[in-house]
Every structure is written in C-alpha cells, then in structure tokens.
Amino acid sequence: MSRPPLRVGFIGLGSQGAPMARRIIAAGHETTLWARRPATLIPFADSGAKMVSSPAELAMTGDLVCLCVVDDADVEQVVTGPDGVLAGLRRGGVIAVHFTVHPETCRRLETSARTCGVSLVDAPVSGGGRAADQGSLVVMAGGDPQVFAYCRPVFTTYGEPVVHLGPTGSGQLAKILTTCCSRPTWGSPRTCSGWGPPSVSTEPR
C-alpha cells in the first residue's frame, strides 16, 4: 500500500528554492510557504500552496520542513528562533537543510532537533535554478537512513540523482568538496576539509 504524500513546508524561495517548491506542489504534496519578504510569495498566489506568517506556523502544518535559506546564521535562526520551526513542528517531524552550510552547523541543529523529538537531515543540492525547474538537481544527503527514505519521495520531485552518503553532515561535506574541486583557483586544503568559513556557497538561491 502506498503512503499518502507528505505535507511539506518550504522556506527559501530564491532562484533555486522557488522552482523546488513548485515541483513539490506539482507532485501533489500539500505545501505551505513562508518568506521574510511577502513579495516572494506573490508568484505562488494561484499555486494552491498555503501562505503563513511565521516558520513556527508553517511547521505546525507539515510532516517535513525544507529549508533553502542563504547562510548558517539564517538557517539557525529559522530553526531555533523563538518563532522558528522547532517551536511548531510535531514530534516525529523532519527538517531538511538544502542550502550549503558548515557540516558542524547541521550536527548542532540535529542535536537541538532531537531534544524536541524531531529529525534533521542535511541535503544540500547542486545544479542551480534550471536543474531545479527540470527536476535534475543533485541531492547529497546525510542523516539517519530511515529518515532519508521517509523524505526521498519529496527529494525526488526536484532531484535526480538523490543519494544518501552517511551520517549527519555527510551531505554538506560532499557538497563542499564538490564545490572546491570544481573551483581550484580558490579552493584550498583547509577549505576542502570543511574547516573553512561556515558559509561556503556562493550559488544564488
């Protein structure tokens, strides 16, 4: 028996996040959106997605919350702030971090989530807005394999391939290595080992 589509909250509607959200909606998942800038939500007015006023309210409506916000500090604020995702997400819910942040940030957030009965996977994506439109982003995930399997039906709406690489932080480390190896002019052993600046991605979202 197939299970019903997950209810998904999505935060981070930039050049890559917006087409990811559209593909989730098109796949039939009940979707809720939040954005700091209300203008970002205007293109979704007729999409069938629900709009809410805070990350906590968004989390109350969903099984899985996907984050594509722009740096480590923003991810932490959206997850752990007074009106953040952990303030609203039910026990058993899942957070997926899609932006490229430091692996240690994801490990720290996973620990905070676990104390609330929530799981967290790091699942950075590569390919840009066009790949998101086409459903061909590369999704590199780290975290509990059972939680990854639970999220996979959503990840495959915008990703191909979608791969699980190991424990929490593995996806971020793979993305960092991939990025620095494709940019040898600025990559360094220190950066490629994950000991560079906390936010390493310069790709638009």
Residues forming the active site: 175
Torsion of CA 153, 17, 200, 75, to 10 degrees: -80
Phi/psi of residue 181, nearest 5 degrees: -75, -20
Q: How far is CA 28 from the centre of its chain?
A: 19
- In this structure, what token pair is assigned to residue 138? 């590369």
Question: Nearest-CA neighbor of 3 among 33, 22, 31, 28?
Answer: 28
Residue 107: both structure tokens together: 């490990």
For 38, residues 6+ apart whose C-beta sits below 8 A from its C-beta are none
DSSP assignment of 42-83 equals GGGTTSS-EE-SSHHHHHHT-SEEEE--SSHHHHHHHHHSTT
- SS3 (DSSP) at 101: coil
User: And the tokens for 19?
Assistant: 């087409």
* Helices H / strands E in the chain, number of each: 8, 9
